[in-house]
Structure 1
Amino acid sequence: MAPCASAEAPAGPRLRVEVTGARRVAGNVTVTVYGPRPEAFLARRAYLSRQRIPLRAASAEACFALSAAGDYAIAVYHDENDDHDFNRNLIGMPAEGYGFSNDAPTTVGLPDFADVRFTVPAEGRRMAIRLRY
């Protein structure tokens, strides 16, 4: 999966992701796209594509060129210190902002795959995700 403007971008549908709610303009927003397999969601190196967008405002947008319509899931985080890692505090709680497709709730632990899965039709799709801190 390539960025939309890439020369290698397939002619398939486009997935545009808008991330809002950054608490400060620093670092980057990392947007990660996963495929339809529940066991691959949030698993190490099991993602389809990842983009790191330098944060120049309280929001950022990524665009992914998909090879086919289908089911996908998204996880994002605000990498405020730009270390390419999702930082946690001493007790394991997130130290940086994060969010998921469908704005899936995370009241206790990570959301279920069923809550983050969405379908991208042949004409493409937009997804808005609000960062939580």
Structure 2
Amino acid sequence: MKARIRLWLAAAVAATLAGGAAHAAEACHGHPGGDAVKLTVEATNVRAAKGEVAITVYPDDVRRFLARGGKLGRVRTPAALPVTRACFWLPPGHYAVAVYHDQDGDRDFDRDGLGRPTEGFGFSNDAPARMGLPAFADVRFRLPAGGKTISLRMRYR
């Protein structure tokens, strides 16, 4: 009987660990309270559960979008299938989000010799990036007083 219970417990632990990546806890930036509301970002179409997904929030300022030092916050969370999530506590307003899948964990957005991305990426509003970066107006979204969840599809070239 004891052996059967141990076996059942071991199986339950193994199942929990195996499913953990798909249901990884949200990594949050900032703190609740005051006028902060929760922005949850869901990156879908993540290709592999290796490396980490870097989710970055930018203020409502075209000059700061994707600029060095321009971010409001960034969460780096282990890549999880089928969706990787992170959250931010921010005041209601307008923002933009950029995401990339740092598969090799070097904390750099890798490109090939021609400057094309070699790692997955995405933007709020699923703004397209066909021949360069999307326009700020295409990635800008409103975070209402009740909070919001946005989903964006990771793109791999």
* Secondary structure at the counterpart of residue 63 of structure 2: helix
Kindly indicate whether the alpha-carbon contact (under 8 Å) linking 2:48 and 2:80 is maintained by their aligned counterparts in 1.
no
Unaligned runs of 5+ in 1: none
Kept after mapping to 1: 8 A contact 2:46/2:80: no
Structure 1 segments of 4+ aligned residues over 6 angstroms from their partners: none
RMSD: 1.4
Q: Give, in angstroms, the shift of residue 128 of structure 1.
A: 0.1
Moved more, 56-65 or 76-85: 56-65
Aligned partner of 2:68 in structure 1 is 44
**Paired residues, what number?**
128
Identity %: 48
State whether structure 2 residue 114 is matched by structure 1 residue 96: no
SS at match of 1:33: strand
Task: Give the structure-1-normalised TM-score.
Answer: 0.92
8 Å CA contact 2:110, 2:118 repeated in 1: yes
Paired residue for 2:132? Answer: 109
Separation in 2 of the partners of 1:55 and 1:103? 19
Q: State which of 16, 23, 34 in structure 1 corresponds to 2:40.
A: 16
Residue in structure 1 matched with residue 151 of structure 2 by the alignment:
128
Q: Distance in 1 between matches of 2:106 and 2:82?
A: 19
- 1:30-72 per-position Cα deviation (integer Å, ceiling 9, x unaligned): 0000000111000011100000011132321001011x10000
Structure with greater proportional helix content: 2
**Which ranges in structure 2 are unaligned for 5 or more consecutive residues?**
1-26
SS in 2 for 1:26: coil
Match of 1:34 among 44, 58, 74: 58
Kindly report which structure 2 residues correspond to 1:61-80, keeping only aligned pairs within 5 A, or say none: 61-66=85-90, 68-80=91-103
